[in-house]
Amino acid sequence: MLNFKYYSPTSVIFGNDAVDKLGKQIAPEVKTVLFHYGGGSIKRSGLYDQVQSILKEKQVKVVELGGVEPNPKLTLVREGIALCREHQVDLILAVGGGSVIDSAKAIGIGVNYEGDVWDFFVGKAQPSSCVPIGVILTIPATGSETSPNSVVTKEEGLMKRGVKSDLIRPAFAILNPELTLTLPEEQTFAGIMDILSHVFERYFTTTTPVDVTDLMCEGVMKATIENAYKLRNNPNDYDARSEIMLAGTVAHNGILGVGRLEDWASHRIAHEITALYGTTHGVTLAIIFPAWMKYVSAERPDKFVQFAQRVFGVSREAFTDPAELANEGIRRFEAFLSDMGLPKSFKEAGLPADQLDLMTEKATLFGALGGYKKLEAADVKGIYKMAL
Amino acid sequence: MLNFKYYSPTSVIFGNDAVDKLGKQIAPEVKTVLFHYGGGSIKRSGLYDQVQSILKEKQVKVVELGGVEPNPKLTLVREGIALCREHQVDLILAVGGGSVIDSAKAIGIGVNYEGDVWDFFVGKAQPSSCVPIGVILTIPATGSETSPNSVVTKEEGLMKRGVKSDLIRPAFAILNPELTLTLPEEQTFAGIMDILSHVFERYFTTTTPVDVTDLMCEGVMKATIENAYKLRNNPNDYDARSEIMLAGTVAHNGILGVGRLEDWASHRIAHEITALYGTTHGVTLAIIFPAWMKYVSAERPDKFVQFAQRVFGVSREAFTDPAELANEGIRRFEAFLSDMGLPKSFKEAGLPADQLDLMTEKATLFGALGGYKKLEAADVKGIYKMAL
């Protein structure tokens, strides 16, 4: 185990009565709230009205900024920063999925920064303050409700980049699984792929031994996969929605990754597909992960052997060759993706194959990727090719 | 899954360089620190001098209060409260195991309370403030380094009682597994039993489904048992010490118990043994848990069937009767305790059998115990008897 620091101070309020508790989470000293959200779904569901009514009761001034798109855009972040400065906002309330939360975080760190907020995303500056952030989550996927991460897309040049700082971990996160009962199928299963990916990025490591966290990772993966099947059979299964929502938070609050080298190559490789084609984040992960697994497992099958056995219950006895055992785990994961209706390749997703060089160049702009196996540009292109 | 709130704000600094980072954890506004510890072990190990030297470098005023005994006593807590008031202490630094940390927490909530601090332990009052607490952990066991719990013994009447409040969760916890390499055998394995007990109290629940947390509980149990065997073979195994130290924190920071009814009967039943005979907390848990398991499993074998299969790998096929399968899991747990050199009964611990009525009366003073099965006084006495 490596030395580490772990800090996850977000208050998680979970359950079918969680939104009712919003008022209690807003500190008495809060005077002005930026109510940040996406499109019309929270208006149709009644959540918008419920939030407005609670904020009115708390007698805080409400500044609204809707219109966050999937893969949140820098232009709207800048608009949010201007609004916060103008109205002296002291709480940003993000109501929605990961895009809304990531947009709120980016706004939060930009408000008291004199330079351009994009500086944080290209490593030119480190956040030194953030307006407190509250969350009402409507899509379990990114884990942004407790994570220290924000990913934003700069429209100019289609650059999708992230920032990481403990300062942007939300103060509170309200998680009501009922809000997810009506999610469209693609959002449900792309979200589940996103959740699994956050475990994968931690699980596939060269650090050994990491017994406690490996077993916890495997538990979260198994519970996620099992409950994904339940939702495939019955999207209205509140219990399964609850397990997925909890898994989404645990997968990315950091506890599964303590004391180990993490990977994150697949995220960077997948990001470039979204940046070019606007493909849903979780879908790009379904496209890239099987290819990444096959590519790196060919060189280092050890952790994939464990994955096959412990997550998918593949019997060691059935395979004399460890590489074949590892491949069987990857095959079962691919079968899971198919069962969930997710594309596992560019072809299945209907994406063109003619921009691999551009994507490779952008993904490796700041150097090699990954931890389990270090990936140079040629490796990254190899993974894109395997994913065609 | 039940509705829940989860909040665990402690900064965990983990690794063989963790103590060096103490200075960074002390906020600039801290002027006076209460340095709280137990006996001479931290002086012998050099930790005492290291802490003094870091505090000197930070130029804070240091008030010392050593002498915390196992099962921390109310008298010393009151002394600490008086010291904090006299010197306007703004950080209590607990250096030691769970007893020192629990004592520090009790002092912390007493400082600004006008009544008697014991009020919090008998439910007469709820803490409304706490002096910030920092921890340097030397014994992985109680999980008090991130938990919201403190257990203190009132000498008069030998009452051992607990208080629970998010206010007493430490601000930071410094965990260096190297500090545990020289722990005596009994402290090592009694601590491991304590860690397992914190998972048991959450795992054995009537709440279903709880897939994510069940699988995480099972992972932490398996990793703990596996690494306990490693330490039995080689107490100097830094990696195994690390896994145990991490398991101890995860087992009791709350995440394994979210959304489920917890039990805690065994802790109350075991506490009365310590109160009467001063027996180490972890040892009393080794005495009581097998008896509790047999007693409640006879009526509700379901979770014990899962425990046998998933934690100890007992094959379902080998047993036609679920009760027998459940019992096999309990037998394997008992074998583990024997392998660790822990007593599994009053007899093995050399304790007399003549105070069962008194212990039963005290354990059930505030009513029935437990969640998995509600235990009235007759049940509690039955468990003591099974543990003889």
Q: What is the average pLDDT across A52-77?
A: 97
**Whether the Cβ atoms of residue A18 and residue B3 lie closer than 8 Å to each other:** yes
Measured between beta carbons, the chain A residues lying within 8 angstroms of B306 are none
Q: Are B219 and A239 in contact (CB < 8 Å)? A: no
Cα B295 to chain center, whole Å? 23
> With 0-12 CB in 10 A as exposed, 13-18 as middle and 19+ as buried, what is B207?
middle
**CATH 1.20.1090.10 residue spans of chain A:** 182-386
Does residue B313 surpass a pLDDT of 90? yes
For testing contact with chain A, the best of B246, B250, B256, B306 (most A CBs within 10 A): B246
A378/A383 Cα distance (integer angstroms): 9
**Residue owning tokens 């069987």:** A328
Q: What is the average pLDDT across A68-92?
A: 97
- A246 near B CB under 8 A: yes
Share of chain B above pLDDT 90, in %: 96
**Whether the Cβ atoms of residue B213 and residue B202 lie closer than 8 Å to each other:** yes
pLDDT at B268: 95
Assign domain B182-386 to its CATH architecture. Answer: Up-down Bundle (1.20)
CB neighbourhood size of A115 (10 A)? 10
pLDDT at A61: 98
Q: How confident is the model at residue B158 (pLDDT cuts 50, 70, 90)?
A: confident
Measured between beta carbons, the chain A residues lying within 8 angstroms of B247 are 212
pLDDT at A35: 98
Distance from CA of B64 to the nearest CA of A (A): 28
**Closest alpha carbon within chain B to A211:** B223
- A215 near B CB under 8 A: yes
**CATH 3.40.50.1970 residue spans of chain A:** 11-179
Measured between beta carbons, the chain A residues lying within 8 angstroms of B199 are none
pLDDT at B157: 84
- B228 near A CB under 8 A: no
What is the pTM (predicted TM-score) of this model? 0.97
pLDDT at B40: 86
Q: Are A3 and B9 in contact (CB < 8 Å)? A: no
Q: Are B211 and A223 in contact (CB < 8 Å)? A: yes
Q: What is the average pLDDT across A267-274?
A: 95
Q: What is the average pLDDT across A382-388?
A: 98
Q: What is the average pLDDT across A320-338?
A: 97
B145/B13 Cα distance (integer angstroms): 11
Q: What is the average pLDDT across A179-198?
A: 97
Please tell me which of the candidates B3, B11, B250 has its beta carbon nearest to residue A16.
Answer: B3
Measured between beta carbons, the chain B residues lying within 8 angstroms of A12 are 4-7, 258
For testing contact with chain A, the best of B2, B3, B237 (most A CBs within 10 A): B3
Measured between beta carbons, the chain A residues lying within 8 angstroms of B5 are 11-14
Please tell me which of the candidates A13, A214, A220 has its beta carbon nearest to residue B212.
Answer: A220
pLDDT at A14: 98
| Region for residue A24 given its phi and psi (left: phi exceeds 0; alpha: psi -120 to 50; beta: otherwise) | alpha
**In chain B, alpha helices (H):** 22-25, 41-45, 47-57, 74-87, 98-110, 185-203, 211-233, 238-252, 265-277, 281-297, 302-310, 322-339, 346-349, 356-363, 377-386
pLDDT in tens, A134-160: 999 999 999 999 999 999 999 998 888
Q: Are B12 and A6 in contact (CB < 8 Å)? A: yes
Q: Are A1 and B239 in contact (CB < 8 Å)? A: yes
- A265 near B CB under 8 A: no
**Whether the Cβ atoms of residue A230 and residue B192 lie closer than 8 Å to each other:** no
A250/B250 Cα distance (integer angstroms): 12
Class of domain A11-179 (CATH, top level): alpha beta
Q: Are B215 and A227 in contact (CB < 8 Å)? A: no
Q: Are B223 and A243 in contact (CB < 8 Å)? A: no
Which residue(s) pair with B136 in the sheet?
B95, B174
- A211 near B CB under 8 A: yes
- A243 near B CB under 8 A: yes
Q: What is the average pLDDT across B192-219?
A: 98
Share of chain A above pLDDT 70, in %: 100
Measured between beta carbons, the chain B residues lying within 8 angstroms of A220 are 212, 215-216
- A317 near B CB under 8 A: no
Assembly ipTM: 0.97
- Averaged pLDDT score across all residues of chain A: 97
pLDDT in tens, B222-242: 999 999 999 999 999 999 999
Q: How confident is the model at residue A98 (pLDDT cuts 50, 70, 90)?
A: very high
Measured between beta carbons, the chain B residues lying within 8 angstroms of A145 are none
B185/B340 Cα distance (integer angstroms): 9
B378/B357 Cα distance (integer angstroms): 10
Annotate A136-172 with DSSP letters as a single string.
EE-S-SS-TTT-SEEEEEETTTTEEEEEE-GGGS-SE
B271/B263 Cα distance (integer angstroms): 15
Q: Are B218 and A218 in contact (CB < 8 Å)? A: no
pLDDT at B306: 98
Q: What angle do CA A150, A153, A154 make, to 5 degrees?
A: 130
A322/A308 Cα distance (integer angstroms): 10
- B8 near A CB under 8 A: yes
Q: How confident is the model at residue B248 (pLDDT cuts 50, 70, 90)?
A: very high
* Nearest by Cα to A176 from A11, A58, A8, A12: A12
Does residue A306 surpass a pLDDT of 90? yes
B288/B23 Cα distance (integer angstroms): 41
Does residue A48 surpass a pLDDT of 90? yes
* Nearest by Cα to B373 from B316, B313, B295, B309: B295
Cα B371 to chain center, whole Å? 19
Measured between beta carbons, the chain A residues lying within 8 angstroms of B239 are 1, 209
